[in-house]
């Protein structure tokens, strides 16, 4: 099973994306940031304090970049062009600043909770991190070039090291609380997660309205697809074991290759599979198949399947039990821990302008 490991684990836990070291699009954060408003913080500027401890501008800018990128990715945006919109009832800039502050708070909460449980980086892990640094210096030709690349992505090497540390602590903490595979997560907790998210499970045969080249199928080809599905329905209706037959027919006829990653059926939440598909699935009992379902992209034949705690839940091979532990229990726990922490905002916090800050 594929675990959430390595440098991305902590940031995945916070709900943002993270990439490895590569040539940066921007340079180090050495002095005043000329793209900001009146505050113009520098690398030594305290933006906020969490339980009295300072969060300096390079770290805050890193979290701000992550939540901004996450906001764009969730809406399919290359760039934010409308800064007048509100998010969660507040102006977008305020929302992004507050979200970045929350990420910083979650980091401090993870440190505190790990320390309370005696979880820390071993000498072996620290040695691996040091070796990785030397390897990267060798790859990029010099320490100065390595530092330039790190500063371009994380705004200082201290931030990079901090995120590495949080990454390991997050993994240790999750394993301690829920087990490496989420095995400490109960069936009842999985069921609660399924109900809260509104998950359903199905397998299906999908025949698209377009060919491999993306061109629209002819009327004759579309009619042939419909006739094929109607023939399959007739075979299913006559079968003594229609569920087993449906599964075998999926292997023969389905043209949605993404389904291959879900041998136990595809779990989906409302709003992810299209209205026509979801309405048809909701009308089925477990083990029951649909008639022909028309969607804007093609035709479906759907089989509703039961949801089991240890079924494969994502394309990485993680189980629903693991995803419940990580996405539901652990995320809620992180929110609770972070919510207990006192955050004090410095005056410069409200002066930070996100618009234009990360323009290349």
For the stretch 222-273, pLDDT in tens is 999 999 999 999 999 999 999 999 999 999 999 999 999 999 999 999 999 9
| 125 DSSP assignment | H
- Return the bridge partners of 283, or none: none
pLDDT single digits (tens) 122-170: 999 999 999 999 999 999 999 999 999 999 999 999 999 999 999 999 9
Predicted pLDDT at 36 = 53
Same-domain check for residues 220 and 93: no
Looking at the structure, tell me whether residues 144 and 114 fall in a common domain: yes
Q: Is residue 310 part of a domain?
A: no
Judge whether 40 lies within some domain: yes
Structural domain of 251: 200-304
Candidates 146, 221, 170, 39; CA nearest to 48 is: 39
Give the residue among 250, 270, 263, 344 at the shortest CA–CA distance from 311. Answer: 263
In a domain, 251, yes or no: yes
| Average pLDDT of the residues in 283-300 | 97
Average pLDDT, the chain: 90
Q: Please report whether residue 265 resides in a domain.
A: yes
Say whether both 144 and 237 belong to one domain.
Answer: no
List the CATH number of the domain containing 209: 3.10.50.40
**Backbone angles phi and psi of 201, in degrees to 5:** -135, 140
pTM higher than 0.75: yes
| pLDDT over threshold 90, residue 118 | yes
**Would you tell me how many other CB atoms lie within 10 Å of the CB of residue 313?**
26
Quote the percentage of the chain above a pLDDT of 70: 89
Domain co-membership, 174 together with 30: yes
Give pLDDT, residue 32: 54
Residue 84 domain-assigned?
Answer: yes
> What pLDDT sits at residue 17?
33
Task: Report d(CA 317, CA 85) in Å as an integer.
Answer: 38
Q: How confident is the model at residue 1 (pLDDT cuts 50, 70, 90)?
A: very low
Tell me the pLDDT band of 298, cut-offs 50, 70 and 90: very high
250 and 326 in a single domain? The answer is no
Choose the weakest-confidence range: 35-44, 162-171, 202-211.
35-44
149 in Cβ contact with 25 (< 8 Å): no
Indicate if 225 and 125 belong to the same structural domain: no
Q: What is the pLDDT of residues 49-87, one digit of tens each?
A: 999 999 999 999 999 999 999 999 989 999 999 999 999
In terms of domains, do 159 and 123 share one? yes
Q: Is residue 210 domain-shared with residue 173, that is, in the same domain?
A: no
pLDDT at 78: 92
Same-domain check for residues 19 and 140? yes
Any domain includes 344? yes
For residue 225, being part of any structural domain is answered with yes
Q: Does residue 190 form part of some domain?
A: no
Over 70: is that where the pLDDT of 18 sits? Answer: no
Specify whether the CB–CB gap between 131 and 123 falls below 8 A: no
Residue 22 has pLDDT above 60, yes or no: no
Mean pLDDT, residues 9-23 taken together: 43
SS3 at position 350: helix
- Reported as a pLDDT band with limits 50, 70 and 90, residue 96 is very high
Domain count along the chain: 2
Element (H, E) at 199: none
Say whether both 32 and 61 belong to one domain: yes
Q: Please give the pLDDT value at position 53.
A: 97
- Which residue would you say has higher pLDDT here, 99 or 31? 99
Domain co-membership, 56 together with 95: yes
Which conformational region is residue 172 in: left (phi greater than 0), alpha (psi within -120 to 50 degrees), or beta? alpha
The CATH number of the domain holding residue 113 is 1.10.4030
Residues 263, 292 within the same domain: yes
pLDDT score of 188: 97
């Amino acid at each position: 099973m594929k675990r959430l490991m390595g440098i991305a684990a902590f940031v995945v836990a916070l709900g943002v994306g993270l990439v490895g070291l590569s040539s940066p699009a921007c340079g180090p954060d050495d002095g005043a940031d000329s793209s900001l408003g009146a505050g113009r913080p520098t690398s030594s500027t305290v933006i906020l304090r969490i339980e009295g401890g300072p969060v300096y501008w390079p770290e805050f800018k890193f979290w701000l970049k992550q939540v901004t990128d996450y906001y764009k990715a969730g809406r399919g945006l290359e760039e934010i062009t409308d800064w007048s919109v509100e998010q969660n009832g507040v102006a977008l800039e305020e929302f992004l600043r507050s979200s970045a502050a929350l990420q910083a708070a979650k980091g401090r909460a993870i440190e505190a909770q790990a320390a309370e449980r005696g979880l820390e980086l071993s000498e072996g892990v620290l040695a691996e991190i040091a070796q990785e640094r030397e390897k990267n210096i060798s790859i990029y030709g010099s320490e100065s070039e390595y530092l330039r690349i790190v500063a371009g992505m994380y705004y200082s090497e201290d931030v990079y090291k901090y995120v590495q540390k949080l990454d390991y602590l997050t993994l240790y903490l999750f394993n301690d609380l829920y087990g490496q595979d989420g095995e400490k997560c109960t069936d009842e907790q999985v069921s609660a997660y399924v109900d809260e998210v509104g998950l359903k499970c199905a397998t299906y045969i999908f025949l698209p309205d377009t060919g491999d080249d993306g061109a629209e199928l002819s009327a004759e080809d579309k009619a042939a697809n419909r006739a094929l599905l109607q023939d399959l329905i007739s075979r299913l209706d006559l079968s003594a074991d229609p569920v087993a037959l449906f599964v075998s027919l999926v292997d023969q006829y389905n043209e949605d290759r993404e389904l291959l990653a879900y041998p136990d059926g595809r779990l989906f939440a409302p709003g992810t599979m299209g209205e026509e598909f979801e309405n048809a699935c909701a009308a089925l009992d477990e083990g029951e198949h649909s008639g022909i379902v028309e969607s804007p992209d093609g035709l479906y034949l759907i089989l509703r399947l039961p949801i089991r705690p240890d079924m494969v839940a994502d394309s990485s091979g993680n189980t629903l039990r693991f995803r419940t532990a990580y996405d539901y229990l652990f995320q809620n726990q992180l929110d609770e821990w972070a919510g207990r922490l006192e955050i004090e905002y410095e005056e410069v916090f409200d002066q930070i302008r996100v618009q234009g800050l990360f323009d290349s």
